[in-house]
Chain A
Amino acid sequence: MIEIHNIHKSFNGVEVLKGIDGVFETGKTTLLLGASGTGKSVLLQCIVGLLKPDLGSITYDGKVFTNNRLDLKQEIRRKIGMLFQGSALFDSMTVQENVEFPLKMLTPDMTRDERMERVDFCLKRVGLEAAHKKMPSELSGGMKKRVGIARAIAPNCTYLFCDEPNSGLDPLTSIKIDELIYEITKEYNITTVIVTHDMNSVIEIGDHIMFLHDGLKVWEGSKDNIMDTNVKDLNNFIFANSLMRAAKRVEDEGGEIDKL
């Protein structure tokens, strides 16, 4: 379980996060939902330690991540797996080497055979058992995301963070990636935090949802009660999302958007 308390973050005097609290429970997927520029990715970067919050605390299973004890930070970081928006695969390495990399670096006691066994397992788990020798440049967007997930789970991560896992993917692939993340969360009982602005993800995999607006958490709840909210910003967000999907459907069917 991850707990965040009163997280503040500013850039050049502009306050991006204005005191966010929250709990990310084990075995559940928590979605950080919101429009672009609301501070979702900044919050995620604070939680994983890529940015240091100006104020506030972050606790991983009772261990304070935001203190200055480097050894404790390292210990926590080694339990973190992250899927980046652009996948962030090491482009000089093959798929197999990418997945093997965290094992090589974080578990030096593992033998090569053990590492290979784990790589095979992870790639099979994400449905890429035949891609070992491929370079990242030879993969499609969806395959890159899958390799990113395999790399994240390879060292048996306890916490999985996903930054816009659906960006740049077609709707069908998006659903598959969402399902994969959800299955892995349940299968390994890990704490998963997903940054998204995709309402489809909310419907598919949102155990718990936090809606951010203008650097503040303005709503949280489950996917079952998100439609019943009277928070204006959230309603606008849902409406705009639905409108966009409806417009796209009309366009796909050869209709005119003006008549929507």
Chain B
Amino acid sequence: MKTLGNYLLFLSSQFVRGESLKILSRRFIDEAVLIGISSVSIVAIVSTFIGAVTCVQIAYNLTNALIPRSTIGFMVREMTILELAPTITSIVLAGKVGSNIAGGLGTMRITEQIDALEVMGINSTSYLVLPKILAAIAMFPLLVILAMTLSILGGYVAGTLTGSLTPQEYVEGLRDAFIPYNITFALIKSVVFAFLISSISAYQGFFTKGGALEVGEASTKAVTNSIIGVLLADYLCAQVLL
């Protein structure tokens, strides 16, 4: 309970005597590049292969002749949009972005850089943490959209190249019983995950005490706690929003 209280106080401290909009917007762009653009390659690789593997494995299990082959495309789409793209992407980003945030802030803490900001009269949480959270909230949905697209493309390439189904069957499956709300649901989830990953990681890094060893520990905790947070939120979102 104490940790939860400290976490909430930490979040609220970002809005007390915050920095000017000009400074925040500049910091936001820096963080958006760091969190978003530099994560494109890893998200692209992971999602493409997950789409491909999903397609191949569904095709392998789909042995009943009465079930049309287009079902493979349908299942790849549903799995990708509802779960794989938002959740797996977020778990990958929890590793990459989460550890980066916690490690960066932890190092700033132990080398007194955060103290230096405070002494200058700058709200260190508003200056350092708020732009990270806002950038994550802005960039995660874009990365998830990219992941959805590449995952479905990966499934298409794998399915057609292995001869599991024809391009027409795959596209037919993709179009079948499409519910646009599922995309909205995935994007809402990605925003929730972005907030959890960035804020939990920032909290772990910001309050690091000690030396290099503790910075490593903070990064590890940031990743594990973020992943647990993502999985819990995933269940809650499914329960509440579907």
Q: Which residue of A lies closest to B122 (CB)?
A: A105
Q: Report the count of interface residues on B (CB-CB < 8 A).
A: 17
Q: A80-117, CB under 8 A of B: which get 1 and which 0?
A: 10101110111100000000001011101000000000
CA distance A246 to B112 in the complex (A): 33
**Please, how many angstroms separate the alpha-carbon atoms of A102 and B121 in the complex?**
10
Check: A125 CB closer than 8 A to any chain B CB. Answer: no
A105–B23 touching, CB < 8 Å: yes
Whether A88 touches B112, Cβ cut-off 8 Å, given contacts A49-B119, A77-B119, is yes
B171 sits at the interface (CB 8 A): no
| Complex-state Cα separation, A78 to B119, whole angstroms | 8
Partner pick for B20 among A77, A88, A108, A161, CB 8 A cutoff: A108
With CB as the reference atom, state the residue of chain B lying closest to A102.
B120
Asked if A48 CB lies within 8 Å of chain B CBs, one says yes
Give which listed residue, A85, A90, A106, contacts B121 with CB less than 8 A: A106
- Which residue of A48, A78, A91, A106 is within 8 Å of B113 (Cβ)? A91
Q: Are A84 and B116 in contact (CB under 8 A)?
A: yes
Is A229 positioned at the interface, with any CB of B under 8 Å from its CB? no
A257 smallest CB distance to B (angstroms) = 31
Q: In the bound complex, do residue B17 and residue A88 qualify as a contact, i.e. CB atoms below 8 Å apart?
A: no
Q: Does B111 contact A (CB under 8 A)?
A: yes
Q: Are A88 and B115 in contact (CB under 8 A)?
A: yes
How far, in whole Å, are A80 and B20 apart by their CA atoms in the complex? Answer: 20
Contacts of B23 in A (CB 8 A): 104-105
Tell me, in angstroms, the Cα distance from A88 to B113 when the chains sit together. 5
Contact status A78-B121, CB under 8 Å: yes
- In the bound complex, CA of A50 to CA of B109 (Å): 13
A235 within 8 A of B: no
- Contact in complex: A84, B118 (CB < 8 Å): no
Q: Judge whether A70 is part of the interface by a CB distance below 8 angstroms.
A: yes
**Which B residues are in CB contact (< 8 Å) with A161?**
119
Specify which chain B residues have a CB less than 8 angstroms from the CB of A77 in the assembled complex: 119-121
Whole-angstrom CA separation of A49 from B16 in the bound complex: 17
Binary CB contact string for chain B from 102 to 131 against chain A (1 if under 8 A, 0 otherwise)? 000001000111011011111000000000
Q: A70-B17, A74-B17, A108-B20 are in contact. Are A50 and B115 (CB under 8 A)?
A: yes
Inter-chain contact A88/B111, CB cutoff 8 Å = yes
**Pairwise interchain contact B120-A88, C-beta atoms closer than 8 A:** no
Q: How far is the CB of A160 from chain B (nearest CB, A)?
A: 11
Residue of B nearest to A148 (CB): B116
Q: Is the CB–CB distance between A106 and B111 below 8 Å?
A: no
Q: Return the CB mask of B1-32 against A: 1 if under 8 Å, else 0.
A: 00000000000000011011011000000000
Q: How far is the CB of A190 from chain B (nearest CB, A)?
A: 15
Q: Name the one of A50, A85, A91, A104 contacting B119, with C-beta atoms under 8 angstroms.
A: A50
Contact B119 A80 (CB under 8 A): yes
Least CB distance, B197 to chain A, in whole angstroms: 21
Query: Using an 8 Å CB-CB cutoff, how does the interface string of A223-257 with B read, 1 for contact, 0 for none?
Result: 00000000000000000000000000000000000
Q: Is the CB of A49 within 8 A of B118?
A: yes
Contact of A48 among B19, B20, B119 (CB under 8 A): B119
Contact A74 B111 (CB under 8 A): no
Please state if B120 and A106 are interface contacts (CB–CB under 8 Å). yes
Chain B residues positioned under 8 Å from A85 (CB to CB): 112
Interface centre among B17, B118, B120 (most CB of A within 10 A): B120
| Contact of A86 with B119 in the complex, beta carbons under 8 Å | no
Tell me how far the C-beta of A66 lies from the nearest C-beta in chain B, rounded to whole angstroms. 16
- Give the chain B neighbours of A90 by CB distance below 8 A: 113, 116
Of B111, B113, B119, B122, which is in contact with the most chain A CB atoms at under 10 Å from its CB? B119
Residue of A nearest to B16 (CB): A70
Q: Can you list 6 A-B pairs, Cβ within 8 angstroms, ordered by A?
A: A50-B115, A70-B16, A82-B119, A90-B113, A102-B120, A106-B120
Known: A50-B119, A105-B19. 15 other contacts (CB 8 A): A50-B118, A70-B16, A77-B119, A80-B120, A82-B116, A84-B112, A84-B115, A84-B116, A85-B112, A88-B116, A89-B113, A90-B116, A91-B113, A105-B23, A106-B120
